[in-house]
Amino acid sequence: MQVTAQQLCDLLQGTLEGDPEVSVSAPSKIEEGRPGTISFLGNPKYESYAYTTASSILLVSRDFQPAEPIKSTLIRVDDVYASVAILLDQFGQSQEQEAGVHADAFVDESAEVHTTATVARFAIIEKGAKIGAGTIIYPQVYIGENVTIGENCILFPGVKVYRDCVLGDHCILHSNVVLGSDGFGFAPQADGTFKKVPQLGNVLVENNVEIGANTVIDRATMGSTIIRAGAKLDNLIQIAHNVEIGHNTVMAAQSGVAGSTKVGKNCLIGGQAGLVGHIQLADGTKVQAQSGINKPIKKPGTAVYGSPALAYNDYLRSYAVFRRLPALQQELTELRKKLAELEKKS
């Protein structure tokens, strides 16, 4: 993909300073910029690279005032990071694969694949499955029986979608995501063994959801495990059966949610956080990384920290004391000695 500075400026609704005809074919980091690429300056601590980068085009904020001459053509925009997202999406579209079903893919004759969808080699699509317009299925993806995949989705290599699951429009599933594996359901028996409880539900993922690599979302025992529209899940996350993740909630890597818990909308869940089962988190809840949530959070916008989690500011105050415990113990010991000496004198 070759695009000129003027074309990019028009796309980003920016202001151009320099050669409007200079062209680029890819983005690059400002510290590694090379001719034929576009870089950006979003953080002031990288400003020194603006004067040395070899990038042909440099994206900067409208109020940036260079202290030295800059060789690159400048495009000034209101929001650098928002513009970078647009740019990366533009360059990413140029990498999309050609529509059609590869000869080495297996597609059951009863499956429905839209003519504008892409199914790469060694992908498997079982009977009754439906693949929407513009969706891209990469190699070694498995789509089970009666699965529905919406429009303009991307399923990267190794994704597994078990039977009856439903994926909305504009979703991205990164490599080795598993949707619809059995929930962790076992009934204890009198002899000490465990009998597997059949997991008969499915996973429902709504529109505009992105799920990171190696994340697993279990099917419901009955009904659906639900990921609501706009949610973003990082890599290596475990979502148990009958969980519901709310609209536009974001979860960082290695966090986990136990069965039947309901997470509200616009929540922020930090990395390695754990939520016990059968609780609810109010809208806008913020969970600090490595925290353990063992009870419901009912007040919207609550921030918590610790394991078990406390109110965020309470945890910080408690930690300030906790980290000084050895010194406080020493002070207490010395005070006891002085008190004992005073008692002897009296």
User: What positions carry a catalytic annotation?
Assistant: 241
User: Could you give the angle at the alpha carbon of 174 between the alpha carbons of 245 and 117, nearest 5°?
Assistant: 105
Give the strand pairing for 178-181 and 160-161: parallel
Distance CA 146, CA 160 (A): 14
Q: What is the DSSP string of 278-297?
A: S-EE-TT-EE-TT-EE-S-B
H-helix or E-strand containing 149?
A: strand 148-149
Nearest by Cα to 22 from 50, 57, 52, 74: 57
Radius of gyration over every alpha carbon of the chain, rounded to an integer in angstroms: 27
H-helix or E-strand containing 86?
A: helix 80-93
Q: What is the DSSP string of 43-85?
A: SGGGHHHHTT---SEEEEETT---SS---SEEEEES-HHHHHH
Strand order across the beta sheet in which 148-149 lies:
112-113, 130-131, 148-149, 166-167, 202-205, 224-227, 244-245, 262-263, 280-281
SS3 content of the chain, % helix, strand, coil (to 5): 20, 30, 50
Q: What is the DSSP string of 291-337?
A: -EE-S-B-STT-EEEETTEEEHHHHHHHHHHHTTHHHHHHHHHHHHH
